[in-house]
Amino acid sequence: MSIKRRTPDDEPFYLIRTLAAGYGPGASIQDHTHSWRQLIFSPKGVMSVSTAQGTWIVPPHWAVWVPSGVTHSIRFSGEASMRTIYVRPRLGRRLPTVCRVIRVSPLLRELILRAQSIGMLDRREPAHRRLAELILDEFREQEVAPLELPMPRDPAARRLADCLCERPNEPVSLDELARRCGAARRTLERRFVEETGITLGRWRQHARLFHALRRLAAGDAVQMAGMQAGYNSVSAFIASFRGAFGATPGRYFNSS
């Protein structure tokens, strides 16, 4: 059976829906939610996907999984070509129930683009069913990346986290920042470990590196991106970047 024209009556038969859109540097999508689960992918540019629980940084050729019902916003650094697939609720087993960033293999990329060319995968079409199964099978096999910046719930700790994200290059000690946020540094350090699972110092480093990723995607040179992220020297920035991502900034983007 070949469905030439789609109507609202066809919607219950869809397994996967798709969306393709382009965004310029600095563009954003405000808080919203979907009843279907999402896999959001962009072959170029860096996306930052934020929820109440944290922020996930998504470099080129990686994708972010967003479960249904999760309120999230998206910010783009550099030119982005967003490709999204929406997976029907309850379709497929062993799919994540929390946000996560995964690597997009060459096969998964081609499967996503094939689904995009069709638009909607209809369970009445045998070829569409097989394609949907392949997408979910390949998705389950992908590497999960540690590209999350979890957000603390404590009000003072959250104020400090927001400050570190908004002004990563501000040359202010953690003691001074804690005072501005109305709490002692030791108290905030305990809150960060309890509520994010990582130390305050490590959290600050991650925030700086995430900011640098966005600046690199927007076209900044390595030295400028490092300075904007609060590093005093390009060598210190490159060493920190390599330690976190396993490659220098230039090689990281070339191999993405």
pLDDT digits (tens, 9 = 90+) for 54-88: 999 888 888 999 999 999 999 998 888 899 999 99
d(CA 187, CA 219): 38
d(CA 19, CA 21): 7
User: What's the pLDDT at 50?
Assistant: 93
Q: What is the mean pLDDT of the chain?
A: 89
- Choose among 220, 210, 185: nearest CA to 101: 210
- Average pLDDT rounded to a whole number, residues 122-145: 92
Name the more confident of 244 and 22.
22
β-partners of residue 47 are: 58, 76
- Choose among 76, 177, 9: nearest CA to 189: 177
User: What's the pLDDT at 77?
Assistant: 86
pLDDT grade for 3, boundaries at 50, 70 and 90: very low
Q: What is the pLDDT of residues 152-167, one digit of tens each?
A: 999 999 999 999 998 8
What is the C-alpha R_g of the chain?
20
Tokens 């590209």 belong to residue:
147
- Choose among 73, 69, 37: nearest CA to 55: 73
The CA–CA distances, whole Å, from 122 to 34, 126, 135 equal 19, 8, 14
Give all domains of the chain, ordered by start, each with its CATH number: 8-145 (2.60.120.280), 152-254 (1.10.10.60)
Q: How many CA atoms lie within 13 A of 217 on its CB side?
A: 29
User: What's the pLDDT at 2?
Assistant: 46
- Average pLDDT rounded to a whole number, residues 112-135: 95
Q: Find the DSSP H helices in the chain.
A: 106-118, 126-140, 155-166, 174-180, 185-196, 200-217, 222-228, 234-245, 249-254
Which range among 93-107, 151-165, 236-250 shows the weakest confidence by mean pLDDT?
Answer: 236-250
Phi/psi zone of residue 92: left (φ > 0), alpha (ψ -120 to 50 degrees), beta? left
d(CA 53, CA 211): 18
Is the pLDDT at 5 greater than 70, yes or no? no
Share of the chain above pLDDT 90, in %: 55
User: What's the pLDDT at 255?
Assistant: 55
Is the pLDDT at 254 greater than 70, yes or no? no
Is the pLDDT at 171 greater than 90, yes or no? no
Share of the chain above pLDDT 70, in %: 96
d(CA 46, CA 48): 7
Burial code (b: 16+ CB inside 10 Å, e: under 16) for 177-202 equals: bbeebebebeebbebbeebbebebee
Which range among 29-38, 59-68, 79-88, 243-252 shows the weakest confidence by mean pLDDT?
Answer: 243-252
- Within 10 Å of residue 22's Cβ, how many Cβ atoms? 12
For residues 185 and 174, the answer to whether their CB atoms sit within 8 Å is: yes
